[in-house]
Structure 1
Amino acid sequence: MYELHTPVHIKAVAKYMGYYLLAFSFVLVVPMIVAIIFHNFQATGYYGVTAIAAFVLGSFIYRTLPDYELETKEALIIVALVFPISAFLSAIPMSLSTGMPFFDAYFESVSAVTTTGLSVAPADVGPVFFFARSWGQWVGGIGIILIVLSVLIRPGTTAFRMYKANYGDMKIKPTVISTTRTLGKVYVVITLVSIVLLLLSGMSLFDSICHAFCCVSTGGFSTQTASIGAYNGNLIPTAISISCILGAISFVLYPYLLKKPQKFIRDKELKYFLSVLVFGSIVFALTLSRENFEYAAIKDNLFQIISAITTAGFSTFDLSILSEASKAVLIFIMWIGGCMGSTAGGIKVFRLLLLFKVVHNVLVRLFLPRETITPIKIEEHIIESEEIYNLVTFMLLYTLILVASAFIFMLYGVDTITSVFEASSALSTVGLSAGATSAAMPAMLKAVLIVDMLFGRIEIIPLILLFMPGTWIKRKRKTKRIVRT
């Protein structure tokens, strides 16, 4: 990270933001087509004009600026810019076509592209809005960066740094371009599987497509005001649960299902993910058994835990009626989240596993000579010291942001457990609400949740770098003048 001692190359950032605008203009075309299908020609015009404007601006930037080789710092800044700008562009036609206040439309768009699922939208906004919101979650789940890498950027150092800034070091192919294309294929396949499962469970085609987009992206938006609680029986909740789990498992593992299925089954992070799911369900069932309402073991208990740990955010009943103990269980599950390399948010199971390894290593070293080398290893991967520093930094920043956000909610009169619940849901990009999130909430609290959702999706560091003065401005070094006597 020594490159950050010098400011970013603004023209290099602008050049690749031009690539991004070109890609995102085609993303906006899809809801425009859906608006035509539903004969909503007003929405068609708004989405069409916004798509054209993004395409023209992206083309101008792309053609005007020369090619640049990106450094790591530029790649991180681009990742930090992509999501808030995507939400801004999506919010324009959304606000104009529904009559929503622009700030509420921006909240909805941020919730979509960050795959969160918190909503402040009115109930009667129409099918085009529901599709656009679900489509935004599906695109946000796989990431605009993947589309840019797969289609527009040539293989090389720039592609590698863009990939690493967004997806880390995980690769399943020799090059990052081939890796991103493979991940894209996996994403499309599990989406199709989800659509089929939902159709077979009795859901309509439109609802199946919208819910499948939100399941595999672990987003949680629903076409129904009561979310999954609007559907009778256990078939649809079961199909939703399976689809969410598919989205929360590392996409890197899926290619091994056909070639090396034992590697998929024996993956340590996957085992811990499923173990937390089972343990959380048992504890949540114990807390629910003390409540004064009837619940279904599958539809309410297991489904809600799956929704929380996959950070999907679907619900089958009003969570505001839960006791503090039940809410606390969901909060802890939301913090953990899914697997690395998936669409799930949260701290991630791998980081939790690594944290336990670090604690174990510290305790073991108390009984060993100081010069003894005790490497930390997860499966075949030896953890470097830099990864531990990154873990400690992430955990500290995550905690500070969570505490600050919850405290602001408390200043507005929201009780402690609900404040922590809403902040945790946004920061882990879950989308569950204990009743505080609504269109009537103060603008300040909406702004807090918007920032939390962006932090949760971008994973804190890039967004912080975006607002550091040293990222943009070169600071003059102070030199001491030596006076000779």
Structure 2
Amino acid sequence: MPRAPARRPALGRIPLLAIFAGIAALAMLLPALHAVLRDDEDTARPFLYAAILILLGCVLVSLARGGEPDRRAAARAELVALVGTFTALPFLLAVPLAEAEGLPLGDAAFEMVSALTTTGATLYDPSALSGPAHLWRATVGWLGGLFMWVAAAAILAPMNLGGFEIAADGPIGAGAARRRGSGGAGDRMRRYARQLLPAYAGLTAALWVALLVAGETPLRALITSMSTLSTSGIVAGGLGATGTSGVLGEVLVLMFLVFALSRATFADESRSAAVSRMHGDPELRLGLVLLASAAAFLFLRHFVGAADLGVTETEDIPTALGAAWGSLFTAASFLTTTGFVSDGWSDAALWSGLETPGVVLMALALVGGGVATTAGGVKLFRIYALGKHAERELERLVLPSSIAGAGMVARRIRRTGARAAWVFFMLFALSLAGTCLALAATGVPLEDALILTAAALSNCGPVAQVAGDGPIDLAALTPFAKTVMAAAMVLGRLETLAIVALLNPSLWRN
């Protein structure tokens, strides 16, 4: 007797965008609760009402779609769900923020796009927003980081996108066709969420408790822990990661930033045997080399400047150590596209009398963190693939008859992986040039346009505050310039290859 086909779980028949909206609605209860504890009912009411309305809408959509056959196994539907999450969902998230803080809906939507893409750029001075508003921005950023963790494994990895194309054995954007038997995107998202959510939430809670023990205030500790794990860089005031906890708090934050350097630090599964263990992970090793090199360069620069001023005596050793720590922490923060600035960073500038080299921090942010992490940027794995390819080419110049070993995966990375990385670099350069020209056409000075473009595409909003001669006032941008920046944030988060794969005609054929 033939076996009846298994019935797909109810959650697997709900559109992905409705699931994400429902999760975001539940998250609105957190700032509402915080506002109630502060006896601020006027702020709590918009978050509570918005949560109820959005949840009701999600239930109605689920009931309407519950009886339809599941067609979300198609690759195009998965990519459309990704694009829709970062373009349509921010408007829902912006409604309670706009109502609670009295902001224009367009500006509130910009804030939500920035938070959801873990960019962390803001139009407002931190003192202009209330505590619940900062908590809501950090919560949206935390959810955006979790979403990218899960989506990378459930959607981008099966399609050979998001950096997974470097070690993949199939064409870019076509991997999902071979894996449809594993279920639709909703099934895979639910399966990977069960695996990654405990680790993500547990690490956030651990950092929160550690910061509380270090002397940080509860609200700032929670916001900082969320921003660290999601690499959004959202804080309640300024660009500093900590307030009352000082250097000890920065040490704790740095310990948790390592999870943005490589997927091997928090996940067991891997597409390549070369990245299956942390001690042999190429992304982690390359990230540590770049971090050490950048920190050493920044410290030596300040040291030479201080020597020219004649202030490198013995009594200045604590200042020198503070400058070294500030360089290390800030470099690590921008390499992971978080954007925290150490308190010792400004002290180092005062010690040496030199301006802060923001272009170095911008370059680190453009490099970015690891594949399938919350960090943005180009990704370390692509840099590694191009480096291995260049190393092999130099070896062939010296020994033309040499044969490279290290296995099939290493050969794939040096050949097809390097080719895919180069294609991505060209698309990234075109995106950089196009966005910069679009911003310049709105009246933004060319230097500021380049900095804003790098901040948006690398998903590291604090670059706009430290890379130039002075902070760039995002609130002074025209509405069209803000729209261009928001689109660049989404493009940087999803990456150009995913957008190109979505436009592939083969994905739209029945």
Which category of TM-score, normalised to the shorter sequence, fits these structures?
0.7 to 0.9
Residues 422 and 360 (structure 1), Cα distance of their counterparts in 2 relative to 1, 3 Å cut: same
Q: Does 1:217 align with 2:233?
A: no
Aligned 8 A contact 2:119 2:461 in 1 = yes
Structure 2 letter corresponding to 1:266: G
Which of residues 106, 118, 123 in structure 1 aligns to 2:121? 118
Q: Does 1:429 align with 2:459?
A: yes
- Corresponding position of 2:146: 142
Residues 443 and 300 (structure 1), Cα distance of their counterparts in 2 relative to 1, 3 Å cut: farther
Identity rate of aligned residues, in percent? 23
- Corresponding position of 1:207: 220
Aligned 8 A contact 1:251 1:342 in 2 = yes
Three-state SS of the structure 2 residue aligned to 1:121 is coil
Which of residues 388, 396, 402 in structure 1 aligns to 2:418? 388
Residues 83 and 414 (structure 1), Cα distance of their counterparts in 2 relative to 1, 3 Å cut: closer
Structure 1 letter corresponding to 2:158: K
Q: Distance in 2 between matches of 1:423 and 1:336?
A: 14
- Corresponding position of 1:483: none
Displacement of 1:61 after TM fit? 4.9
Aligned 8 A contact 2:389 2:414 in 1 = no
Q: Distance in 2 between matches of 1:380 and 1:393?
A: 19
Which of residues 380, 383, 390 in structure 2 aligns to 1:352? 383
Q: RMSD of aligned C-alpha atoms?
A: 3.8
TM (normalized to structure 2)? 0.75
Moved more, 226-235 or 263-272: 226-235
Which of residues 237, 240, 251 in structure 2 aligns to 1:238? 251
- Corresponding position of 2:109: 106
Structure 2 letter corresponding to 1:76: L
Q: Distance in 2 between matches of 1:445 and 1:425?
A: 14
Aligned 8 A contact 2:369 2:380 in 1 = yes
Aligned 8 A contact 1:20 1:58 in 2 = no
- Corresponding position of 2:265: 253
User: Structure 2 stretches of 5 or more lacking a match?
Assistant: 1-11, 169-181, 183-187, 269-274, 312-318, 466-470
User: Structure 1 stretches of 5 or more lacking a match?
Assistant: 1-14, 150-158, 476-485
Residues 333 and 384 (structure 1), Cα distance of their counterparts in 2 relative to 1, 3 Å cut: closer
Which of residues 471, 477, 484 in structure 2 aligns to 1:448? 484
Q: Does 1:196 align with 2:206?
A: no
Q: Does 1:71 align with 2:84?
A: no
- Corresponding position of 1:479: none
Aligned 8 A contact 1:311 1:430 in 2 = yes
- Corresponding position of 1:164: 158
Q: Distance in 2 between matches of 1:214 and 1:301?
A: 20
TM (normalized to structure 1)? 0.78
Displacement of 1:144 after TM fit? 6.8
Q: How does 1:468-483 map to 2 (within 5 A)?
A: 468=503, 470=505
Q: Distance in 1 between matches of 2:436 and 2:327?
A: 26
Q: Distance in 1 between matches of 2:162 and 2:204?
A: 20
Residues 281 and 207 (structure 1), Cα distance of their counterparts in 2 relative to 1, 3 Å cut: same
- Corresponding position of 2:26: 29
Three-state SS of the structure 2 residue aligned to 1:219 is coil
- Corresponding position of 2:496: 460
Q: Distance in 1 between matches of 2:297 and 2:395?
A: 30
Q: Distance in 2 between matches of 1:125 and 1:220?
A: 16
Displacement of 1:444 after TM fit? 2.6
Displacement of 1:464 after TM fit? 4.2
Count of aligned residue pairs for this structure pair: 441
Give CA deviations for 1:51-96 in whole Å, capped at 9, x if unaligned: 2254135314532532125233332232222222222221122222
Residues 160 and 308 (structure 1), Cα distance of their counterparts in 2 relative to 1, 3 Å cut: closer
Aligned 8 A contact 1:376 1:383 in 2 = no
Moved more, 350-359 or 410-419: 410-419
Structure 2 letter corresponding to 1:268: P
Aligned 8 A contact 2:215 2:245 in 1 = no
Aligned 8 A contact 2:456 2:485 in 1 = yes
